Chains A and B, each alone.
With several copies, the nearest count.
Chain A
Amino acid sequence: MIMDNMTITKQTEIAPKIFRIEVRGPLSKEMKNPGQFVNLRISKGIDPTLRRPISICDVDLENEMLTMIYRVEGKGTKLLSEKIVGEEVNVLGPLGQGFPVEAANQGNTCVLVGGGVGIPPLYYLGKQLVAMGVRVITILGFRTANDVFLEEEFASLGEVIITTEDGSQGIKGFVTDALKKLDGYDLYYTCGPKPMLRAVEQVATSPGYISLEERMGCGVGACLACVCDLKERDAETGKAYAKICTDGPVFLAGEVVL
């Protein structure tokens, strides 16, 4: 993990309030696995004070580029969306433990289940799985057709199933309505809002990995802001909790209390 002033090379609104930002810098070479995130310092001063955690959506090692996709929620992401190409942003990362690609084997079928801004980290994961010879099926959940993003990108990796709450595109309902219809898959990876993760964990018929979100202070494991409870105490450390910023954000399904 390093801190790097990365230069914004591209920033575009790809859906309402959803922005794709590309930054360049040596930090990109530090990426260990998909699902890791970075902590962005939005401004030089103290306003805002805290960094903003954003997942890595894609990495281009040759050109030292990172791609992130974020939704404008509040003050920080609003300010981030106003930054222009050429400006620098201070990035701390990569942080956390990502999705274990090695958990899948050549020939396996893996389902990627993403909801809203939980979708981005699954893309870099999908690319690596496909490269390993894994068959990838992607289920992406949105509120409405208008919000859909990254559909083509995932289509290039395999079958893509879209669900929308209002039925304006794909299956009407939630990602779980699509997941129910699938079977015979060996592994799933999911990222999205907690209620979705709970539902996916219940419906899924295979082992899987889930990625969590929590409000963070330090992002490096020192402040204990981002803890979640473990179903059972960790045998070696004796800890009853895990830190999402360093032990996570990705956990084996069933390992943590959702």
Chain B
Amino acid sequence: MSRIAVSLPGLEMKNPVMPASGCFAFGQEYGKLYDLNRLGAICVKAVTVEERRGNATPRVAETPGGMLNAIGLQNPGLEHVLQHELPWLEKYDTPIVVNIAGYSVEDYVQVAREISKVRNVNALELNISCPNVKEGGITFGTDAATAAHLTEKVKSVSDVPVYVKLSPNVTDIVEIAKAVEEAGADGLSMINTLLGMRIDLKTGLPILANRTGGLSGAAIKPVAIRMIYDVSQQVSIPIIGMGGIYEVDDILEFMMAGASAVAVGTANFIDPFACPNLIDQLEERMDELGIETLSSIVGRSSLCKSIR
């Protein structure tokens, strides 16, 4: 097995890097720029039962070292994704992770059941942390019991491993992580965006039509590292780490903190070739630091060493 390969439930990755959900649509745009097979995996945009039109614009605003977004889970809906988006990805042999969202438990369950049956889908990412929709999304992610209940329901219908994507906008993320592990989650995805706002000095009003948005980018990296470090000490399921990854050292920092793989979001907007470029820099940097294999640096509790 190669030095930079990592193995997680449902995901045999040739390298630890996947694009973060919502920053890569369903792959077609970046597929024009480079061969998506270079990616360790592909994580696509959130899918809901019905088509979602999303929020009004402006949907993004810049912040120091980061950005706010309030897309509002816009997506073409389950049917369209099944018929058009996922089939297009069949030409690639890299693992596919589908991010699913909903406005009720039933929504999530329906999307999970149908998406998890698709041949080229290797795992689900259960999005209980979208800060940009009133119902659903984050409300499922801020209460341990609710999150656990949803995880259990989704697990019961899913044919593939389920990664629960946690919200950082909570007092005690470890409590929620333990609850979803208890409920059967195969892995965790963290972190989603921090709630934030920018105000337009000319109007005195929030820049985003949605008022608040999700903060992403380098600015949130230390928050992600801390949460992954704390959670990885307390759970034995693997973590897909994300939140501000921008340079190759960040990937190593996330893995040392406890992530078994990583996702890159905002950095794709800074440089559309960010994912392949970071992957290409990995081995040289590992040599400089005297790191033999990536999986060996994952700073996780002995319990889950096995799955790595």
Chain A positions within 8 Å of B, measured between CB atoms, are 1, 3, 41, 46-51, 75, 92, 214-229, 238-241, 246
Stretch touching chain A among B52-60, B107-115, B123-131, B227-235 = B52-60
In Å, the complex CA distance between A41 and B272 comes to: 11
Stretch touching chain A among B20-28, B165-173, B183-191, B295-303 = B20-28
Kindly provide the distance from the CB of A109 to the nearest chain B CB, expressed in whole angstroms. Answer: 34
In Å, the complex CA distance between A75 and B272 comes to: 22
Kindly provide the distance from the CB of A258 to the nearest chain B CB, expressed in whole angstroms. Answer: 12
In Å, the complex CA distance between A111 and B269 comes to: 36
Interface magnitude class on chain B: 35 or more
Please report whether the interface of chain B is mostly helix, strand, loop or mixed according to DSSP: loop
In Å, the complex CA distance between A223 and B30 comes to: 11
Would you call A224 and B74 a contact (CB within 8 A)?
yes
Kindly provide the distance from the CB of A191 to the nearest chain B CB, expressed in whole angstroms. Answer: 18
Given contacts A214-B57, A228-B57, A238-B80, contact A49 B272 (CB under 8 A): no
- Is B289 positioned at the interface, with any CB of A under 8 Å from its CB? no
Would you call A3 and B62 a contact (CB within 8 A)?
no
Residue of B nearest to A92 (CB): B272
Q: Which of the residues B58, B61, B62, B66 comes within 8 Å of A214, measured between beta carbons?
A: B58
Interface centre among A50, A238, A239 (most CB of B within 10 A): A50
In Å, the complex CA distance between A223 and B270 comes to: 13
Would you call A46 and B64 a contact (CB within 8 A)?
yes
Residues of A within 8 A of B270 (CB): 41, 46, 49-51
Would you call A49 and B57 a contact (CB within 8 A)?
no
- Is B217 positioned at the interface, with any CB of A under 8 Å from its CB? yes
Residue of B nearest to A239 (CB): B76
Can you offer 12 A-B residue contacts whose CB atoms are under 8 A?
A3-B272, A46-B64, A46-B219, A48-B62, A214-B57, A215-B57, A218-B23, A218-B268, A220-B272, A229-B53, A241-B74, A246-B29
**Interface mask (B28-71 → A, CB under 8 Å = 1, otherwise 0):** 01101100000000000100000101100111111111110101
Residue of B nearest to A226 (CB): B57
Residues of A within 8 A of B53 (CB): 229, 240-241
Would you call B58 and A223 a contact (CB within 8 A)?
no
Would you call B59 and A219 a contact (CB within 8 A)?
no
Residues of A within 8 A of B51 (CB): 240
In Å, the complex CA distance between A223 and B76 comes to: 13
- How many pairs of A and B residues are in contact by the CB < 8 Å rule? 105
- Is B266 positioned at the interface, with any CB of A under 8 Å from its CB? yes
- Is B92 positioned at the interface, with any CB of A under 8 Å from its CB? no
In Å, the complex CA distance between A241 and B51 comes to: 12
Residue of B nearest to A75 (CB): B62
Would you call A223 and B25 a contact (CB within 8 A)?
yes
Would you call B217 and A46 a contact (CB within 8 A)?
yes
Would you call A227 and B57 a contact (CB within 8 A)?
yes
Q: A50-B62, A214-B57, A220-B30 are in contact. List 12 more A-B contacts (CB 8 A).
A: A3-B271, A41-B271, A46-B65, A46-B219, A46-B270, A49-B66, A49-B67, A50-B67, A215-B59, A220-B33, A222-B23, A225-B60
- Is B88 positioned at the interface, with any CB of A under 8 Å from its CB? no
Kindly provide the distance from the CB of B299 to the nearest chain A CB, expressed in whole angstroms. Answer: 21
Interface centre among A47, A51, A214 (most CB of B within 10 A): A47
Residue of A nearest to B19 (CB): A222
Residue of A nearest to B70 (CB): A225
Residues of A within 8 A of B60 (CB): 50, 215-217, 223, 225
In Å, the complex CA distance between A162 and B149 comes to: 65
Would you call A215 and B272 a contact (CB within 8 A)?
no
Residue of B nearest to A244 (CB): B57
In Å, the complex CA distance between A218 and B22 comes to: 11
Residues of A within 8 A of B63 (CB): 49
- Is B140 positioned at the interface, with any CB of A under 8 Å from its CB? no
Kindly provide the distance from the CB of B97 to the nearest chain A CB, expressed in whole angstroms. Answer: 16
Residues of B within 8 A of A215 (CB): 57-61, 207
Would you call A217 and B67 a contact (CB within 8 A)?
yes
Residues of A within 8 A of B207 (CB): 215
Would you call B269 and A218 a contact (CB within 8 A)?
yes
Would you call B269 and A50 a contact (CB within 8 A)?
yes
Would you call A222 and B217 a contact (CB within 8 A)?
no
In Å, the complex CA distance between A229 and B270 comes to: 26
Would you call B217 and A49 a contact (CB within 8 A)?
yes
In Å, the complex CA distance between A224 and B269 comes to: 12
